[in-house]
Amino acid sequence: MRARSLLAIDVGSVTQDILCCVKGQDPASSFKMILPSETQIVARKIEQATFQRKPVFLRGNVMGGGASVGALKKHLQAGLAAYATPKAAATFHDDLERVTAMGVKLVDEAPQAAVTVDLADVRPAKLKAILELAGLDMPDAFAAAVLDHGFSPKESNRRFRFKLWERLVEREADLGDMAFEQAPPELTRMRAVQEDLPGSYMMDTAAAAFLGALQDPVVGRQSDRGVVVINLGNQHATAALIAGRTLLGIMEHHTGMLTPEKLESLIVRFREGDLSGEEVFADGGHGCVLSGGVGEARFELVSITGPRRSMGLECGYYAASPYGDMMLVGCFGLAAAVGWL
């Protein structure tokens, strides 16, 4: 029996954006939710334990860091104990020796009196319960996007992540090819989501945003001539040169290190092929790479997506709004990648 509905989940550092697509239903009328991301929820639980002066025990799967990492560091700085299973501890660094150097003790069972905090980027049981409260059934197909740096215990995770982009640009990959039915072993965060949400397709959040932006009619009409799409996330800013659905270039930096003026300068040089990967890395970003076919496209339109898109609006860039919804760009990209749009 073919799937009749799709749950698309775009996991960010602040929110998780959720789209429920039903076969035959207008995508603009799909059911939607914007919820706190699980790292925010984990951070609040750790903060509560810190306030109560109780130790914490972290278990579950590797997930995104961000807020949870900051909360754990403050918990340890307060002189309180923290314990974690080895699997959960990989959330904080791939090198577990560095996690223990933070002060986290690796254990398999919860110590007495410790507050147990479960780690996971996606919680199907919670989502099912929320949908049921709204009178909806849990969809029967799944796709999710997370930002995965890849497993790199000794190498800079910025360099390791960017090598993944370099391979995609080198072969001028179709954006749809970036949806994994089975995520590669080195993409441990994606693999963790697939453990927690069996049968789900996985995609990088930036790739999902790029493909989602192409669902906007203005961006879609100009894509064959070449477009620049920038995903301004809360932590990462990733720009792509795209012709049709082909990835011809990537530049990735950290949003908090940018201003509108700096972003505009980087994008001008990126489009002109005058920006090196080493320069971006030395500036605290990930890198920059272009394919050999980049000179054939014009890249006149610059489009933006993401929660920090206001920075791009100050540059005069076009804000993509597929099916009239800026917040669900990544979800629409996921749906397009797995053939639902």
Q: Write out pLDDT tens, residues 266-304.
A: 999 999 889 999 999 999 999 999 998 776 667 899 999
Q: Kindly state whether residues 252 and 107 are assigned to the same domain.
A: no
Report residue 42 CA to chain centroid gap: 17
Tokens of residue 72, six digits = 């754990």
Whether 31 maps to a domain, the answer reads yes
Residue type, 172: E
Number of domains in the chain: 2
Whether 56 maps to a domain, the answer reads yes
Whether 110 maps to a domain, the answer reads yes
Q: Kindly state whether residues 24 and 59 are assigned to the same domain.
A: no
Tokens of residue 320, six digits = 């993509």
State residue 122's pLDDT score. Answer: 97
Could you list the beta-strand ranges (E) of the chain.
Answer: 5-11, 15-22, 31-36, 56-60, 82-84, 104-106, 115-119, 141-146, 201-204, 227-232, 236-243, 246-254, 287-290, 301-305, 318-319
State residue 313's pLDDT score. Answer: 95
Number of Cβ atoms within 10 Å of the Cβ of 154? 7
Q: Kindly state whether residues 304 and 198 are assigned to the same domain.
A: yes
DSSP string, 57-108: EEEE-----THHHHHHHHHHHTT--EEE-HHHHTTT-SSHHHHHHHTEEE-S
Q: Which domain range does residue 184 map to?
A: 5-35+141-337
Whether 124 maps to a domain, the answer reads no
State residue 154's pLDDT score. Answer: 86
Whether 167 maps to a domain, the answer reads yes
3 state SS of 39: helix
Percent of the chain with pLDDT over 90: 89
Buried b (16+ CB within 10 A) or exposed e, 18-44: bbbbbeeeebeebbebeeebbbbbbbe
Q: Kindly state whether residues 43 and 170 are assigned to the same domain.
A: no
- Rounded CA gap, 305 and 229, in Å? 8
Q: What is the mean pLDDT of residues 64-92?
A: 96
Q: Kindly state whether residues 93 and 208 are assigned to the same domain.
A: no
State residue 296's pLDDT score. Answer: 65
Q: Kindly state whether residues 25 and 75 are assigned to the same domain.
A: no
Q: Kindly state whether residues 58 and 106 are assigned to the same domain.
A: yes
Q: Kindly state whether residues 30 and 42 are assigned to the same domain.
A: no
Q: Kindly state whether residues 80 and 26 are assigned to the same domain.
A: no
pTM of the model: 0.94
Answer yes or no: is pLDDT of 1 > 60.
no
Please enumerate in sequence order all residues whose Cβ is within 8 A of that of 243, keeping only pairs 6 or more positions apart, or say none. Answer: 223, 224, 225, 226, 227, 293, 296, 297
Supply the CATH number for residue 55's domain. Answer: 3.40.50
